[in-house]
Chain A
């Protein structure tokens, strides 16, 4: 099956800093999403981005499908950005399963 690796595993930043989170995957995918898991456990959908670039406020994401990676950018970090960020992918086959990376734990200090 597809392997998903996220880096870094942990990131501690001061409020106002910018950050880049990376997701590498081992095979072609037709579905890639970035999620933020809040302290109560809910997964909040940030981007559905199997290819290309998208932006939403201070967040943006880029997926380079041919090179099998995706990046999530967070600018001007706020304490509310703290939490775990997951990348999840799914292959082209209808039998393919959604595979989550192990996540990046982001801590924003005031």
Chain B
């Protein structure tokens, strides 16, 4: 069974640009959630999608957005990148509310 796949693995962008990250969940998993990890703030929840609907959202500015497609794949977009957006972005999938989450390998974003 394939795991959670995140692409790309590494990304370098310039301030002011926008970026789109992709996450393909484990087959059959309908919940996809996104996290940002930085040395100073630790692991912070961005948002969670279930069956194409955003179920929860963390405390991030509107520059951070996401969506989920009918095949459960998810994308997150960050517009007008800032240096502070440099981080490891992790995606996790789950069959549903009462199950554990499986994480992908992450996308390491560097903003210069």
Chain A residues within 8 Å of B, Cβ to Cβ: 30-31, 33, 35, 40-45, 48, 86, 88, 94-100, 102-103
**Quick one: which of A42, A43, A95 contacts B55, CB cutoff 8 A?**
A95
Tell me if B33 is interfacial: C-beta within 8 Å of chain A: yes
Q: How far is the CA of A86 from the CA of B56 in the complex (A)?
A: 21
Partner of A30 from B43, B58, B98 at Cβ < 8 Å: B98
Instruction: State A44–B98 Cα separation when bound (angstroms).
Output: 19
* A100 / chain B contacts, CB cutoff of 8 Å: 35, 42-45
With a CB–CB cut-off of 8 A, which chain B residues contact A99? 45
Query: Are A95 and B56 in contact, with the CB atoms below 8 A?
Result: yes
Given contacts A41-B90, A88-B43, could you give 5 more A-B pairs where the C-beta distance is less than 8 Å?
A41-B108, A48-B100, A97-B56, A100-B43, A100-B44
Q: Tell me, in angstroms, the Cα distance from A98 to B34 when the chains sit together.
A: 10
By a CB distance below 8 angstroms, the chain A residues around B33 are 98
A96: B residues at CB distance < 8 A:
56
In angstroms, how far is the closest chain A Cβ from the Cβ of B62?
18
Q: Are A86 and B43 in contact (CB under 8 A)?
A: yes
Query: How many angstroms from the CA of A35 to the CA of B102 in the assembled complex?
Result: 10
The smallest beta-carbon distance between B91 and chain A, in angstroms, is 10
Q: Given A43-B103, A102-B42, does the pair A31, B48 have CB atoms closer than 8 Å?
A: no
Q: Is B65's beta carbon under 8 Å from chain A?
A: no
In the complex, residue of chain B having the shortest beta-carbon distance to the beta carbon of A44: B103
Contact B101 A33, beta carbon cutoff 8 Å:
yes
Judge whether B43 and A42 touch: CB under 8 Å.
Answer: no
B99: chain A residues within 8 A (beta carbon): 31, 48
Most buried by B among A43, A48, A103: A43
- Tell me if B45 and A41 are in contact (CB < 8 A): no
Q: How far is the CA of A94 from the CA of B98 in the complex (A)?
A: 10
Known contacts A42-B103, A43-B103; A98/B45 CB under 8 A? yes
Query: Is the beta-carbon distance between A35 and B103 smaller than 8 angstroms?
Result: yes
